[in-house]
Each structure stands twice: as C-alpha cells, then as structure tokens.
Amino acid sequence: MARRDSYTDLLIIGAGPAGLMAACWASQYAIKTRLIDQKSERTAAGHADGINSRTMEILDSFGVADTVLHQAAGNMDAAYWGPEEQTGNIRRIKCQPSQPQELSRFDQMLLNQGAIEQILIDYLGSKARVHVERGRKAEKLRLPSHSDQGNNNEYPVHVRVVAADGEDGQPDNAEVIHTRYLIACDGARSWTSAQLKIDSDIWNTESTWGVMDIIPETDFPDIQRACAIQAGDGLSMMVVPRENNLVRFYLHMNGGEERSPNGPDKSEGSLEDLIDMAEKTLKPYKLSYKHCDWWSIYPIGRRLIKQYRSDRIFFAGDAAHTHSPKGGQGMNISMQDTYNLVWKVAAVITESIDPAILETYQSERRPEAEQLMEFDTRLVYAYEEGSMEDGSEDGVEAVRDKYAGFMAGVAVTYPPSILVDKGESNTAVARNIQLGKRLPSYLIVGQEDGCVVHLAKKLNSNGCWKLLIFPGDLHHLGVLDRLSVFANDFSGRINNHLIPQSSKNSKLLETLLIHSSPRASISQSQLLTTFHQFDTDATVFADDPLYDGDTGQVYEQYGIDKQKGCLIVCRPDQHVGWIGAIEDIEGLEKYFSKFLFRKKRT
C-alpha cells in the first residue's frame, strides 16, 4: 500500500481536554505540532463538568478565563443532607461555601467538557499554528533503534495513521508521522499505552454509579446548590448545578453493568431507573425532568500507570490515571498534566533547555495522581459509608475539608529537582513563598499607567520564565543603590551571555520589578536612570495600598522585608523555581546554568 511520510516536532494523540491543553502550550513555540483524534467531532454532552480554581488560573494565563466565566455556572455554596432517624426523610445538616475564598482569586466553576474543549479549539484557531485533525486513527507505533540512519535519529517515533472510518485502503489515507516526541492523551483505554504494554497500579472496586444531566422539576430547596446527600437504605447522591438550567445527579447504584449510551433509551429504562432512585434519595421531595441532556451508568475503576514516560513518549490525563468523578478532578488533573509537560518538551525541541528537565514530568505529576487516588478512595467511601453529621471523621464534609487545597488545585507543590532548586534558594527572604508551588496572586499597580492588575496577569503562558525583582521601599536608605548595583550586574551578565535573553526561536526571560513605595512618590525618570544599562524590558509596578481594592498586600503576603527585598524566579508554568536575595546574582546564575542553553539532544 502506498503511504505518505511526514515529519513533526511534536505529535499529540487525543483531542480531549489534556490534548487540547497540550496543543495550546505548543502553539506558544516555534515548533511544528500535530494533534490527531479518531473522533469526528468534539465531545457533545456530558462527561466532565468541574473546573477547579487552579485550572481557571491556567485558562486565564491563556486569556480564555473570561469566556469560561461567561458560559459557566458558579459553585459558591455546598449543602450537606442526611436522613432523619424517625421518618427516614432527608434533612439539611449544613450549608457553607464550597471552598475557602482565600485559596484563589477564582472560584470553582461548572461547565460541560464539550464547552471547555470548544473554548480551547477556538483559542488554537486564533493562534493558527495547531489544529485538530479529526477522523485520524493511530494504527501502528514504531520506535527505531539507535542504529537506524537518516531522519530516524532526528524523528525517532513513527506512528502510522489511517482514516478512523476504516477506509484505509485508499493510498492517501495512510500516513506515517515521524515525530521527535509523542504525547499520548488518548484516554482510559489508551491505544499508545497498549502498544508499549505499560504497567499500571490498579485498585479494584465493585462500586457502580449513575450520572444524568437533566433540567429538573422538583421542590427540593437546594437544587441550585452543590449537595452531598445520604438517605436511608444506603442511598447516596451528589447534586451539581450546571449551565443552561441543567443539574447533574451522581447516584451510587450498588452494582450494575457498564453502559454509556449517548442519550436516553426508554426501552432499557435505565434513565427512568436513575430518576426513580434520585427521587427515593430526595424523599420527601419530588423529582421529574423536562429534558435529559446526557446520562450514563459505569463502574468505578482506579488505575495509575507506573511510568509517565517511555523514551520519547509521554502519557497524560486518562491515559495515565483513571478514577471516579466524585471530586470533580478528572478534567483538571488531565489538563494540569500537559500544562506541566509541554513547555518542557517545547523548550527542549527549540534547544533552549537541557533534556534532563524531562525527567521532572514523572517526579512532579505522578505524586499528584497518587494523592488523587487516595482522595478519590476516601471520598467515594464517604459517600457510600460515611456520615453527614457534624464532627464525623469519615463523612463527605470532613474529606472535602481535609483536601480543600488539593481539590482547588492550588496545593500542588513540586519536589526539589533541577527546576526547583531548594539547595541554592534562600527562602528566608520570602518567608511565605513555598518552592515548587504556584505563586499566589495579589493586586499590583502599574508604575506608568496606575492600572490595578493581578500579578498573575503578568505571568501569562507565553513560554517565558519570569524574574520578579522585589527591591523593597525605594525610599529606605541604600535600597535604590542596591537596586542599581543589581541592574548593572545583571545587565553585564546578560551581555556576556551568562544569562542570555533569547535562543534562536524565542525570548526566554521576562522581568518584573515590584517596589513597595507609594507609586506617586517615585518618578519614572528616576527608575529609568537606575535601569539605563538594564538590557531587558523590565515592567515596573508598585505594591501600593492607596488604591481601590485590596492593593498593597504583596510584600506582606509573600513575607518580603521592605528594606531587604528579594528575587523570585517563576517557571513558565507559574511555579516558583528559585528564591534569593537581591544581591545574589551568582545564585541566580547557578540556578539557570543547571538546565538552560545546553544545546544538545538525547
């Protein structure tokens, strides 16, 4: 059979949330990326629906959070319901915010997976570098040996792709894609994983759940709140309000066979069974529905692959881990997998970063999946066996409280590595900042224009590292002089290519200066004089409390002394990699020299 051969830097298999996030990251770099999916269209309805705070922060870093906010339903309150001993009817035990407000500037949002996919697809369309190639099915995988010659060494992964509709008899339908790296985002029944015979840790369970998205007709008073409900006779249910007047119901089925139809099939009666079980759980309240958007019945299975990487191939999302949807983590963890991975792969491809950093994908993301398995196990047990009463140690509320930071996605803390330099960092100069954790965001004021903006808005996902310079209060004795020394020293090292500003493909480092003086007391010309030899375009901000809102909190919240200041390095994914004193240019250089600008490939 005739075939076509093509070459690409990065091949992504699977255009679900993980694959689309991977493509969004890859679109920031001058690399060639292919994204294939065997489905003819994106997810139409159902599936994942929870977007946690960290995922919202990530989406905001690509400039699409406002689109999500416009479409999604907010998840502000959570109600807990349990049975009355005498009647067996349910009663409300407690109502409280769904998560602590101080965790993030974003709340958890609720929007169906298909809508999220479309938002990311539209973003890719605006970048015009990557598009989804639908109806393309990976059929054969080959990893050539090191003895192979020619392009095989440069593009060592070979994937034979055919038309997903089975019409691969046509010569033009068969293609062999030669790629430098492959990211498998091809779901729980990962084709790529099967080809490589990847081993997994498996947690067996017989628990079966049903899910339905309906527009309900009910007198249940908390239908527009997220609810954890336990009734008599082992009945338990989770209620999640959704966009467009939809409400999702998760029900513990106590057994059953896996069925995942695209819509209601009244001949089987499964949807009506779900409605009947939901109404029994809600007793004494009534429940019927106007419209069913999607439903499914499925067993819970927990699986975690042992290795996230096999040579040039990486696994992300459901291809790496599967679990129940009870904590609303599936889509979030999946997108955060590829958000962690792709900037590393792209930087290696563009020859700006040592390939050794690719080892950190396993060390950073698999522990998060292990914690997910632990959380999921405890939460499912709480729904099935725990108590909703106050003070219960095995109840849903207790589990959610314990894992609040994890559920919001903001507690993720990556361990020491080549990218999280605990040994060279001086964390005492920013007492409240934790290495390896994403930098929390607070309001700052633009020195030039006086605009109030969240610091995270300046940590956008463009592939650049961010050097945050905190000189302190420029009116304190010696602070301005120390800043000037730093600027001249740093500029000299850039000019000597010790901390270069760009590779052949892209800018690598952006700098932000955030002082703690009142903005009006500092002249722009004074700062320009200080930075007259500073060869990077430093954007200047003030941590000034004299503005509307909650400005003036950065130094206090980060634990930075206003006389001593500090330096903070954020990786392209907003996680803190290094912290040092403002005089410690040598330490800064040592940090970057461990992985930047070693122009070699493995």
Question: Sheet of 302-305: strands edge to edge?
Answer: 200-203, 302-305, 321-322
> What 3 state SS string does 113-135 have?
HHHHHHHHHHHHHHHCCCCEEEC
Q: Tell me: do 504 and 398 sit in the same domain.
A: no
For residue 103, tell me if it sits in a domain.
Answer: no
End-to-end CA distance of the chain: 33
Q: Tell me: do 385 and 455 sit in the same domain.
A: no
For residue 520, tell me if it sits in a domain.
Answer: yes
What is the structure's pLDDT at 323? 84
Our count of domains for the chain comes to 2
Q: Tell me: do 399 and 451 sit in the same domain.
A: no
CATH number for 366: 3.50.50.60
For residue 548, tell me if it sits in a domain.
Answer: yes
Distance separating alpha carbons of residues 548 and 516, to the nearest angstrom: 16
Contacts 24+ apart (CB under 8 A), 221-225: 221/92, 221/285, 222/79, 222/81, 222/92, 222/95, 223/247, 225/77, 225/78, 225/79, 225/95
This prediction's pTM: 0.91
Distance separating alpha carbons of residues 505 and 328, to the nearest angstrom: 38
Distance from chain centroid for Cα 49: 14
Question: By the 8 A CB rule, do 89 and 283 touch?
Answer: yes
Q: Tell me: do 165 and 35 sit in the same domain.
A: yes
Q: Which residues contact 254 (CB under 8 A, 6 or more apart)?
A: 208, 234
Residue range 176-233, pLDDT digits in tens: 999 999 999 999 889 999 999 999 888 766 567 789 999 999 999 999 999 999 887 8
Q: Which residues contact 308 (CB under 8 A, 6 or more apart)?
A: 314, 315, 316, 320, 361, 362, 365, 366
Q: Other C-beta atoms within 10 Å of 479: how many? A: 21
Q: Tell me: do 343 and 467 sit in the same domain.
A: no
Q: Tell me: do 493 and 401 sit in the same domain.
A: no
Residue 242 has pLDDT above 80, yes or no: yes
pLDDT band at 530 (very low <50, low <70, confident <90, very high): low
DSSP string spanning 505-570? SSB-EEEEEEE-S-GGGS-HHHHHHHTTT--S--EEEE--SSSSSSBS-HHHHHT--TTT-EEEEE
For residue 90, tell me if it sits in a domain.
Answer: no
Q: Tell me: do 324 and 443 sit in the same domain.
A: no
Residue 549 has pLDDT above 90, yes or no: no
Q: Tell me: do 12 and 144 sit in the same domain.
A: yes
Q: Tell me: do 40 and 146 sit in the same domain.
A: yes
| Backbone phi, psi, residue 504, to 5° | -70, -15
Q: Which residues pair with 468 in a beta bridge?
A: 512, 568
| Backbone phi, psi, residue 290, to 5° | -85, -40
For residue 554, tell me if it sits in a domain.
Answer: yes
Domain of 154 in residue numbering reads as: 4-71+111-200+302-408
Radius of gyration of the chain (CA): 26
pLDDT band at 400 (very low <50, low <70, confident <90, very high): confident
Residue 254 has pLDDT above 80, yes or no: no
- Which tokens is 76 given? 């502000």
Q: Tell me: do 402 and 492 sit in the same domain.
A: no
- Which tokens is 246 given? 């939809």
- Cis previous bond, 284, omega within 30: yes
For residue 539, tell me if it sits in a domain.
Answer: yes
Residue 53, H or E segment: helix 53-61
What is the structure's pLDDT at 494? 65
pLDDT band at 377 (very low <50, low <70, confident <90, very high): confident
For residue 228, tell me if it sits in a domain.
Answer: no
Residue range 420-452, pLDDT digits in tens: 998 889 999 999 999 999 999 999 999 989 999
CATH number for 479: 3.40.30.20
For residue 513, tell me if it sits in a domain.
Answer: yes
Q: Tell me: do 519 and 573 sit in the same domain.
A: yes
Q: Tell me: do 441 and 402 sit in the same domain.
A: no
Four-residue CA torsion sign, 554, 560, 564, 569: negative
What is the structure's pLDDT at 31? 96
- Which tokens is 48 given? 């994942």
Distance from chain centroid for Cα 509: 22
Residue range 102-139, pLDDT digits in tens: 889 999 999 999 999 999 999 999 998 899 999 999 99
Residue range 275-297, pLDDT digits in tens: 999 999 999 999 999 999 999 88
Distance separating alpha carbons of residues 509 and 25, to the nearest angstrom: 17
- Percent above pLDDT 90 for the chain: 66
What is the structure's pLDDT at 424? 84
Mean pLDDT of the chain: 87
Distance separating alpha carbons of residues 312 and 304, to the nearest angstrom: 20
Distance separating alpha carbons of residues 514 and 562, to the nearest angstrom: 11
DSSP string spanning 549-564? SSBS-HHHHHT--TTT
